[in-house]
Amino acid sequence: MSEGEAALGFVGLGAMGGPIAGHLLARHGSLAVFDVRAEAVRPLADAGATACGSPADVAGAARTVFMSLPDPAAIPAVVEELLQGARIHTVVDLSTTGPQIAAQIRAALSHRGVGYLDAPVSGGPSGAAAGRLSVMAAGAPEVFDEVAPLLDAFAATVVRVGDVPGQGQVAKVLNNLMSATAIAITSEVMALGVKAGLDPERLLMAINSGSGRNTASADKFPKYVLPRTFDMGFRLRLMTKDVKLCLEEAARQKVPMILGGTVEQLWTLAAACTAEGADCTEIARMLEGWAGVTIGAIADHDGLRVLGLTGSCHRPIFTGGTQ
């Protein structure tokens, strides 16, 4: 890369970052990349990207650096490394960090005169692979105008939700709380329906023809739960993290979230009951275990044994009303 080239950089090449970086490379022809895992860097390097040894090296090669990282706690340290790069001009964070981490990033970058676009994405690994993500962006108008053309490489929709970095994070965690709620309630509904003798496929057809239709009933359950693949590509623990970030912001803003708090408890329990890398759709397994049913073609098995749940995953105790 020549010194005058307005190169792009990318840090974090996981399930979301890898495909997004691939789209940027294909569209713009040059990309400096870093990930702690060599196996994540290799495909992009083979496609023509420049492999770097650290975030600082990426920021030494690129004026605009994208980040896509799963662990919010690690991001401030990555930002400090980026600030060691000689060319860094703008940072675009595609991660879901929550508004408090975004505020830390904003302070660090503004102190050094580096632009910051808070731009979390929605659409999952399939949306990243297809280049059809939704971006919830927040940042100064001049920073957004500079970065917006780059987002077209991997986004179908870009909504600028505010001027202040961190507002994008608020929009994203609110979105994910709603998504998590849809998955959870659909799991409960489907478990009850199967327990009552309904065919799960026909029940989904009925729901998706009525007012109860949601993203879980229309997409996640037909694709990943009924076929028993549980491979949507978004880890259950990451969904739990995002729900917690939303409830933390609610507490900070002193906004009561009664239903949201219950959803948080449900996902926290599911995270304790499933394997480390479990897919977010596997929360349905916990509800199946409680009901003693299987939402899918598998029949004549004991629910808990087939579901392979780990840890302590107790069925709720009802103390009043009907069961």
Catalytic residues: 172
- Burial profile 130-158: b = 16 or more Cβ within 10 angstroms, e = fewer: ebebbbbbbbeeebbebbbebbebbbeeb
Q: Under a CB-based contact definition with an 8 Å cutoff, are residues 283 and 230 in contact?
A: no
Q: Give the integer Cα–Cα distance in Å for 181 and 196.
A: 23
Q: Under a CB-based contact definition with an 8 Å cutoff, are residues 85 and 56 in contact?
A: yes
Task: Take residue 315 and report the two structure tokens written for it.
Answer: 């069925």
Q: Give the integer Cα–Cα distance in Å for 218 and 16.
A: 22
Q: How many distinct helices (H) and strands (E) make up the chain?
A: 14, 9
Question: Which residues does residue 164 pair with via DSSP β-bridges, in sequence order?
Answer: none
Any idea of the CA torsion for 281, 287, 292, 298, to the nearest 10 degrees?
A: -10
